[in-house]
Amino acid sequence: MARLLLLGAGHAHLDAIRAIPALVARGHAVTVAGPGPCHCYSGMGPGVLGGTYPPQAMALPVRRMVQAAGGTFVTDTAVRIDAPGHAVHFASGLRLEYEVCSCNVGSLVAHPLPEDAAGTGSDGGYPPTLPVFSVKPIENLYRARQALLRLAAHGAVHVVVAGGGPAALEVSCNAAICIARARGNAAPAVPGDDSVTLVAGHGLLPGLPERARTLCRALAAARRVRIIEGARAVRANADGVLLNDGRSLPARVVLLATGVAPPPLFAASGLSTRTGNGTNGGPDGGTGDGSGDGSGGGLAVNAHLQSIVHPDLFGGGDCIHFTPAPLPRVGVHAVRQGPVLAANLAARLDEHARGGASAARTTGQPSLAPYIPRPGHLLVLDTGAGTGVLHRPVGSGALCFGGRLAFLLKRAIDTRFMRGHLPPGGARLGECPWDEPA
């Protein structure tokens, strides 16, 4: 028997979770550790903010999935990996040993706004009168929706979104829809006394061609989203957000989409890391930030998604640095890595079961499959109210269009992904601790 420990239950681990019955049948033991009973699919997060979907629609009940498959689920957060000792230490004080471990622990917003020294709050230390929500973890978008609905019942709502990438555009447009619907407005745009301002830093969507940027600007304008370029948000206080050019914007809610970086787990564990790239999203590429390199270190892995130093340590998704060629942090890579990672974890477990300690001396063995990234990827942005923008490189050009059809294609991709992994009945109301109205 060999023990598999999966840290995180994100996109890249879903195939491994689905393979638990086969692994258990071969005599292996599987433990999955995650921060909560559900994992949120990032592609539908903006739609939850805008009210297109209920929060349960984006939730995968991973604890129930793991337990039903014959594995063990531990609700905890890894704080240090002792790779030479084949053990992981958790925030609760728990220590779990493994023969093979895989990391899919996601990412964090790379550039949080410093808080005003005059006040502190429960959300990242921000002043209690100014709710600040980062786009990571994705369930924060539902929390942001609840905050907007509460505020709309008591007066004008002013939202500032910090970031210049796809995620910032998506949450800006969907925040506008949320406020409009809260006011009972039929028009999918920010009502007159409210505001949504997108502070885009050096520029909006710098990684996309002009055609895609033009479509996104037009849809943002239709939502009455104000876009500020050439300035960035640098501080939050009880009155609003300060920009680096000295301007101050009124805000009652701030949404942060300022780039993503791996969590500090690997650096804290003394593992080989690299600085990563900066977009993130679901299989359709949406809900990304696109605003530059993450500031943290991803676990350095080879083509087999295996640590370049520790052969029994693997990883996938946002938290890795793929040493053959740096990858943008888009969910399409995490999803495509899933089957490769599941197969390689099974192969490594079997090596341990057959060869014991000799398996630990083998790295990059021929039995492991390589992850081969495909050039280019589909990007579909949810711009709210059943509209979207689609961009996909095609040869030396690109396919790019906006409107209802783009959203329908995105919805088809998202629902197909969820159907492929959800257990019968899907996520249940109250199964995820954040999905009840506050």
- For residue 290, give the nearest of 389, 398, 200 by alpha carbon: 200
> Contact, 23 vs 30, CB < 8 A?
yes
Given the structure tokens 């995820």, which residue do they identify? 432
Q: What is the pLDDT of residue 105?
A: 96
Amino acid at 165: G
Phi-psi region of 51 (alpha: psi -120 to 50; beta: other; left: phi over 0): left
Q: Hey, is 394 helix, strand or coil?
A: strand
- For residue 331, give the nearest of 121, 38, 21, 107 by alpha carbon: 107
- Give the containing element (helix H, strand E) for 397: strand 397-403
Sheet containing 29-34: which strands, arranged edge to edge? 72-75, 29-34, 3-7, 100-103, 313-315
Q: Which CATH architecture has domain 3-35+76-109+260-361?
A: 3-Layer(bba) Sandwich (3.50)
What's the token pair of residue 407? 């959203």
What's the token pair of residue 412? 């088809």
Q: What is the pLDDT of residue 116?
A: 61
Per-residue pLDDT of the chain (438 residues; tens, 9 = 90+): 899 999 999 999 999 999 999 999 999 999 999 999 999 999 999 999 999 999 999 999 999 999 999 999 999 999 999 999 999 999 999 999 999 999 999 999 888 888 664 333 334 444 456 899 999 999 999 999 999 999 999 999 999 999 999 999 999 999 999 999 999 999 999 999 999 999 999 999 998 999 999 999 999 999 999 999 999 999 998 889 999 999 999 999 999 999 888 999 999 999 977 644 444 444 554 443 333 333 358 999 999 999 999 999 999 999 999 999 888 888 889 999 999 999 999 999 999 998 854 554 555 566 899 999 988 889 999 999 999 999 999 888 899 999 999 999 999 999 999 999 999 888 888 888 776 654
- Report the distance separating Cα 257 and Cα 111, nearest Å: 9
Strand partners, 399: 392
- For residue 47, give the nearest of 385, 363, 279, 424 by alpha carbon: 385
Q: Cβ of 95: how many Cβ atoms within 10 Å?
A: 12
> Contact, 165 vs 192, CB < 8 A?
no
Strand partners, 242: 235, 248
ω into 191 cis (within 30 of 0): no
Global pTM reads: 0.89
Domain positions in the chain are 3-35+76-109+260-361
